[in-house]
A and B are shown apart, each in its own frame.
Chain A
Amino acid sequence: MRAALTQRGEWSAAQAIPPATILVLSILSVLPLRVPDYAAVTPLLPLAGVYYWTIYRPEWLPPLVTFLCGLVLDLLTGAPLGVSSLLFLLARTAVFSQRRFFINRLFPFMWGGFTLLAAAAIAFLWLLGGFIEGAMLDTRAVTLQWVLTVACFPAVSYLLMRIQRRLLPS
């Protein structure tokens, strides 16, 4: 598989992997788990995808693709269109500018970076949501959402790392 995807003809297939994984993470985050109050604190799994690929394969997650990933997430969740696109674009820009601090560093370092990014992202969504709806909401739900997002990161990044090592050229 690795050999196949590293060949020039298969280049575009490999390029589709980052957005495809973000799409899968988006779908996972809207599956109706029947856990009380889960919907409000659903972890922002696709953000982990944006973070990971911006660090390891930014050229395969260009702004346009990032924008489209956000659009698909908004369509899936029923959020106002453009909210996640804006979030992902800003997250990509921020992570890309600090990329050299994270690349090929120990995992806790990368996790720490994501903790900060997730805090900023969720705070941003909270403020933007408040602006759109004209009402600020309880911060407990967003705090729990942040904790869950950060807690899911090791599993997500492990899976993405496996995918990257198996399918993508180094």
Chain B
Amino acid sequence: MRLAVPVKAIGQRFALPILVLASVAMIILGKADTLLFERLRGSFGDIAAPVLGVLSEPVAAVDRAIARFHDMVALYDENGRLREENTRLLQWQQAAQQLATENTRLRELLKLAPDPSASFVSARVIANSGGTYFRSVLIDAGGGDGVVRGQAAITGEGLVGRITEVGERASRILLLTDINSHIPIALDGTRERAVLAGDNSNQPRLLYLPARATVKVGDRVVTSGNGGIFPPGLPVGVIAAIQDGIVRVEPYAELSRLDYLRVVNYGLGGVLPQPVPPRPAKPPRGAAREAP
């Protein structure tokens, strides 16, 4: 008991420098090896998820009410626009059905291995990341729901980002605008490959675009499937600006208004460390030639 007093006094005296050093050490360790911290974050997400889930609901409700009010004001114009769009889409539907049938037939002719079938987990965004340097969101689905690190998160419009931390009930999605986000993409049409790199602005930029590539504002950008993290062909965005050799992409998904989104499992192993499912056997060479 007598010892306890000086020990406590020393503890109090050196608490500040020790804790400052501990913080610095954590920052450095976190940069070097993230596995331990990732687990810690995952477990913390599980604890925080129910609280954040409850608290984010009224915020979402207010947002939905405002959106509904806006919609009501614009109802008449919107209706006209939608009718027009519907007519156009019906034509597209016809075309898509024809193409789908043709595609299936051609695939059969070529004996192509079928694409892995996708399954989805729907989740709600329960927390944003505050701050200038980090663009991520926390969702209320985790490993228990089938979410795995590396999977793609999408909205109806397009790609949002990828799962970087997984807890049992919650996971974190690194948005494609984050400075750490690098996504292999392809320009729809020319199939030129590049990497979509976030820089914390609202419009991520294209890196490693081949010099010979022709690119213009309005071109569609989709995932290329390189690296095996994402399936090819997920819509990402459109080329928004080309200035001084920097090509910027406007994402289709409205990243600042995320509410519900889907986590996509295509059963791809990818380059991230996780068990790799066996790939379907490739057809033997020349199989296509044998087809009638």
Contact = CB atoms under 8 A, between A and B. Distances in A.
A and B part of one assembly: yes
Interface of A: 27, 29-44, 62-64, 66-67, 70, 72, 75-83, 85-86, 89-90, 93, 125-126, 128-130, 132-133, 135, 137-138, 141-142, 145
Nearest to B180: A133
B129 A82 contact: no
B129 A86 contact: no
A2 B136 CA distance: 41
Q: Chain A: interface secondary structure?
A: helix
A67 B128 contact: no
B118 interface: no
B24 A32 contact: no
Contacts of B137: 32
B133 A79 contact: yes
Interface string B15-28: 11001101111110
Contacts of B22: 67, 82, 85
Given A33-B128, A132-B31, 16 more contacts: A27-B51, A29-B130, A30-B130, A32-B56, A33-B59, A38-B128, A39-B130, A42-B131, A76-B44, A79-B134, A81-B30, A85-B26, A89-B19, A128-B27, A133-B133, A133-B179
Contacts of A133: 133, 179-180
Interface residues of B, number: 52
Interface in B193-228: 199-202
B169 interface: no
A75 B40 contact: yes
Interface stretch (B91-99, B252-260, B273-281): B252-260
A135 to B, nearest CB: 6
A165 B23 CA distance: 33
B179 A78 contact: no
24 contacts: A27-B55, A32-B56, A32-B59, A32-B125, A34-B257, A39-B128, A39-B129, A39-B135, A62-B15, A76-B127, A77-B131, A77-B134, A78-B41, A78-B138, A79-B134, A80-B26, A80-B30, A85-B22, A86-B23, A89-B16, A89-B23, A138-B200, A145-B131, A145-B132
